[in-house]
Structure 1
């Protein structure tokens, strides 16, 4: 490979396991600090001055071996360093990450993997490309696709590389697709921030997603558990809104045109039962859309101060600083009436409150008349 490349190898045991690490010397200094059978950990110091931790993973397919690996990785997550961990985890987090003829369910491997993600305080960096990274290369009903490979990172690493991307590349001679992680300090384009729309609460699907996000037991640090559930809720609400909701104004225009068509026909001749029912449904949908559009623009009007502040840099920074001071929770009174200043106890109270708020009886409480 020449002087421009360096490498490190974790030997395989038989025909399983094994890792090969390759890097260009031009990227900076890479120090492999510790290795185990299924992971290699290295400190990367770039010439630009960034220093962060990277872990390459090739997880076993055996449940007990996976448990030991997750315990090893959780310890690294508690170091507080910017951390990227990627590779073949041999587990999935959602049923959508596997496609096969048989019914897909989440077993103990998925539960343990999800517990590790939560306790380590990392998040999935997502991907671009084909949604699956592994295929059994069989045909017909026996063909199986799974997302076994991914890249995870903690908030410190994401802040260091806010423009990072993960690409699923084409499979060639392997049953796995290569992952390309592009660590970029500045995003190529400004991503639209997640914004919860008030009118979403009128949809049962939205309330169900929120309820599912808050159910289940949080493991490890309460703040990690709280953040993990918030991130999951944002992700699934975003996917739902893109797939199931369109532009309110566009739909309103279409509904009004349909009402006009039916009313003009009703003026010329009596509508039959089907058209009359359709007209009543259009009236109801117009009323619902009008209410949702009003909620949408009411919410926008409350954010106008951000736009005004952005035109005045001093005002923007001052108000942001003051809001940050006001928003910091110094102490909290528990359900028992006792005050606490311990940040871990405060996080636990928040977590328990929202788990109770969105518990099993949520649907009954939020059912609209």
Structure 2
């Protein structure tokens, strides 16, 4: 992800995604760029090999799938600087590993990947990207809508849509994932759509740890559950008593949440679906009904 930060510390990572995740951050240049790569160390290992302002490259070791070369890209908006990106990738991605290059390339390849704005020209930028893909055996895989991944968030005729974000796979990766397709998620906190590429449905980790959710504090019942759970008497030394009270309280909150707040996740997914549907309509230039506006 693009951070736009000169630095990020471990506490921020823990707050953002949890203590089970490791990271590598390349600082931003001024107020743009900055690349943050995160991986769950309980599921995979990631060994960083190359890093620059436009790309972080490393070896991702996945149980049952072996080693994958992965490059996370934030392409410069300057065509001349992007030329250095292609040269860098050509050198570090030439091997027999399955390889994935994904991120914000800040470049489109044809007129169908743009709506409004200046007329598309197959100029030096798109040509160099196409040449890299052909020479290094990388392929633009299928994707699930929306068609565009970035919007300048303006209104009317000033609004521009482009497909700046994508995933490229080499032939070795496609052989392992013949039906691979990426999914673009709804834009919520960014002007870019997040990309999801699922490597293997069987690689999963089910944690038995129960974590306190900040959402619980907004419910009056939560305070009552905590009060009555901590009030119960326990025996043993001070550490054992504290552990039992904490464990009992979290279990009580977990099952209360499961029974009383089970609709929150379905509501969240429903709202994301509505956001995605509206963004698709907006990107395709379809008229919105009054009801659509009310949903926002």
TM-score normalized by structure 2?
0.60
Farther-moved stretch of structure 1 (96-105 vs 166-175): 96-105
Alignment of 1:205-220 (within 5 A): none
- Equivalent-residue separation in structure 2 for 1:167 and 1:49 (angstroms): 21
Residue of structure 1 in register with 2:71 after alignment: 55
Structure 2 residue 153 is matched with structure 1 residue 149: no
Deviations 1:243-271 (A, max 9, x none): xxxxxxxxxxxxxxxxxxxxxxxxxxxxx
- Equivalent-residue separation in structure 2 for 1:104 and 1:13 (angstroms): 28
Instruction: Report SS of the residue matched to 1:118.
Output: helix
Larger radius of gyration: 1
Residue of structure 1 in register with 2:176 after alignment: 160
Residue of structure 2 in register with 1:82 after alignment: 98
Structure 2 residue 57 is matched with structure 1 residue 38: no
Residue of structure 2 in register with 1:21 after alignment: 37
- Equivalent-residue separation in structure 1 for 2:60 and 2:50 (angstroms): 13
Q: How far did 1:69 drift? A: 0.5
- Equivalent-residue separation in structure 1 for 2:65 and 2:100 (angstroms): 17
Structure 2 residue 183 is matched with structure 1 residue 182: no
Instruction: Report SS of the residue matched to 2:174.
Output: helix
Residue of structure 2 in register with 1:202 after alignment: none
- Equivalent pair of 1:162/1:185 in contact (CA under 8 Å): no
Q: 1:49/1:150 Cα in 2 relative to 1: closer, same or farther (>3 Å)? A: closer
Deviations 1:199-230 (A, max 9, x none): xxxxxxxxxxxxxxxxxxxxxxxxxxxxxxxx
Instruction: Report SS of the residue matched to 1:80.
Output: coil
Deviating 4+ runs (over 3 angstroms): none
5+ residue gaps in structure 2?
1-13, 203-296
TM-score normalized by structure 1?
0.48
- How many residue pairs were aligned? 186
1:120 to 131, 136, 161: 136
Residue of structure 1 in register with 2:87 after alignment: 71
Q: 1:101/1:4 Cα in 2 relative to 1: closer, same or farther (>3 Å)? A: closer
- Equivalent-residue separation in structure 2 for 1:16 and 1:131 (angstroms): 25
